[in-house]
Amino acid sequence: MKYFVRTYGCQMNVADSNEMSRHLRAHGLVETLDQDDASVILVNTCTVRQHAEDRAFSEIGRLKKWKAKRPGRKVVVTGCAAERTKEYLEDRFPFIDLVVGAKSIENFEQMAQRLLDRRETDEELDYAVPAIDDKVAAFVTIMRGCNYSCTYCIVPSVRGREIYHSMDQILGEVRDRVREGSREITLLGQTVNSYRHEQYRFAGLLRAVAAEDGVDRVRFISPHPYYMNDRVIEAMAEVPEICEGLHLPVQSGSNTMLKAMARNYTREQYVMLIEKMRRAMPEMALSTDIIVGFPGETEEEFQQTLSLIEELHFDWGFIFKYSTREGTPAAQLESYPEQLIEERHQRCLELMDRIALDRRLRLVGTTQDVLVEADNFGRTCANYKVHINGREAQARQGAALRNIAPGEEVSVRITNAHRATLEGELQDGNVTFENFRQEDTAGAHSRER
C-alpha cells in the first residue's frame, strides 16, 4: 500500500510529516510521489496565515474525487489547521477518514494504526523493507508548542504550551538520522532556544548534538531573541560543527509595533544582540521574519522596518503580509485594506532582495565549503545555497569528474551571486583527470581553469 504526503507551512510541519511518514513506513506502507498511485493521502496543514489554510482546504476538497476513484482509499488531515478547525473539517468534508490536530501528532502512530487496521481494501500490503530517509539534512524536533502570546499568532492556541523532549530522546533521534545518512541536523522548535529539560538548557543541547559521531553540522530554527544568551553565542562561536548562520525573527523595526505585537524586546536590543553576535562571528549569516501591515502600523513605523533591514544587512528575510487570525488579540483591531498591505509587502521585498544580493556579491571570489545535498546543489555552513556549475562543460572536455555524492563536503569557488543563491565551481582538487595521459594532465588543468 502506498501513501502520499502533502505538507503546508513551516519546517516544523516538514519535520512532523517526516515523523508521520516514518510511522507509516514502519507499518509497511511505501511512499509515492504520485498521488494517483497512492491509497493513503496525508495532508499536513498550516493555519499561521489564512492563505495557507485556504490552499489546504481547496486541496482537501479535490480529494473527494480522488477517493471515489478507488475503494479503500483514505484521506488523513493533520496539523495546525486540523487542530483549529477539526469540527468544521469533518462537517464540510465528511469523506475525511482521520483528523489529527497538531497537539496530537505524538499520538499519530496509534491513531494511524487503528485507521489502517480498519482495512476495507483487498490490496496486498507491500512489506518492502521500509524506505529510509536519506536526506543529508534532517530535522529533529526538540520541543513542541509555544509559551509566548504574540498578538498576531495562532500557534500557541493550535500547538499548546511548550513541551520539551528529553536529551536522551533527542540524541537517540539524531543517531537514527545519522545512521540513515544525515550529516546535518536542524533542531526545531517554535522558540527553540527556550529549551529546558531537567538540568539541560539549549546551549548544552547544541554542544551535545554537535559532539555526536557523524554530525558535521548543527543548525536550529526558530530561536527567539529573548533566549539568545551568551552561552548559546559562545557555543556557536566555539564549536565548529555549530553553523554560524542564524534565522532570528524580528517581525518589525518599530518599537511601537513590537510592543503591539507583544514581542518582549526593542529594536535597540535586537540590534545590540546582532552586533554582539557579529563581533563573536564576523562571517555569521543572518535571516529573519518580518510582518508588514500589522493593524495600526503607520507609514513611518513601516519605514522603521525598512531602515532596520538597511542597518543590519540581513542575508535573507521572509516578509509576511499580516493575516488576521480569529481568536488572537490582534484580530480585535481594525486591519488595513489588502492593497496597502500588498504595497508595503512589495516595497519590503524589493529592499530585502537588493540587500540579499549585496550580501552574496561580497562572497564572489571566495572559496566555500559546501555540503552537497543533491545533484550539483548544496549549502555553506552559514546556510547560503550554492549551485555547483561547470561540471557538464568539464565532462564534455573529457575530464573524469569525481562523483560528488550527497553528504560530501566539497570546496567551491564562488563565481556568481543572485539574491537567493550563489553559483560556483569545484576547486581543482575535486576534479580528477586520471583518464588523461600523464603528460596531458597539466594542460587539462589549465584548460579547465
Q: What's the CA gap between 146 and 160, in Å, rounded?
A: 6
Cβ(190)–Cβ(127) below 8 Å: no
Q: Is the dihedral of CA 306, 293, 325, 60 positive or negative?
A: negative
Task: Give the one residue of 99, 105, 153, 205 binding ligand SF4; rule: CB under 6 A.
Answer: 153
Helix (H) or strand (E) holding 248: none
Q: Which is nearer to ligand SF4, 156 or 181 (CB)?
A: 156
Lookup result for grid cell 503580509: 321
Q: Which is nearer to ligand SF4, 221 or 284 (CB)?
A: 221
Partner interacting with residue 49 (select from ligand SAM, ligand SF4, none; CB below 5-8 Å by kind): ligand SAM
Task: Give the one residue of 81, 116, 155, 292 binding ligand SF4; rule: CB under 6 A.
Answer: 155
249 is an interface residue for ligand SAM by CB under 6 A: yes
Q: Which is nearer to ligand SAM, 155 or 412 (CB)?
A: 155
21 is an interface residue for ligand SF4 by CB under 6 A: no
148 is an interface residue for ligand SF4 by CB under 6 A: yes
Q: In what order do the strands lie in the sheet with 285-292?
A: 245-247, 285-292, 316-321
Q: What's the CA gap between 99 and 69, in Å, rounded?
A: 21
| Binding characters for ligand SAM, 327-356, by CB under 6 A (x = yes) | ------------------------------
Name the residue among 223, 181, 226 with its Cα closest to residue 205.
223
Partner interacting with residue 156 (select from ligand SAM, ligand SF4, none; CB below 5-8 Å by kind): ligand SF4
Q: Which of residues 217-256 bind ligand SF4 (CB under 6 A)?
A: 224
State in angstroms the smallest separation of the CB of 444 from ligand SF4: 54
150 is an interface residue for ligand SF4 by CB under 6 A: yes
Q: What's the CA gap between 270 and 299, in Å, rounded?
A: 21
Lookup result for grid cell 493513503: 40
Partner interacting with residue 286 (select from ligand SF4, ligand SAM, none; CB below 5-8 Å by kind): none
Complete DSSP assignment for 131-180: P----SEEEEE-EES-----TT--HHHHH-S-EE--HHHHHHHHHHHHHT
What backbone phi and psi angles, to 5 degrees, belong to 168?
-60, -45
Task: Give the one residue of 15, 82, 112, 155 binding ligand SAM; rule: CB under 6 A.
Answer: 155
Query: Looking at the DSSP assignment, which residues form a beta bridge with residue 379?
Result: 371, 385
Task: Give the one residue of 108, 316, 320, 336 binding ligand SAM; rule: CB under 6 A.
Answer: 320
In the complex, the residues that contact ligand SAM under the rule CB under 6 A are 10, 48-49, 152-153, 155, 190-191, 222, 224, 249, 251, 289, 291, 320, 322-323, 325
In the complex, the residues that contact ligand SF4 under the rule CB under 6 A are 146, 148-150, 153, 155-156, 190-191, 224
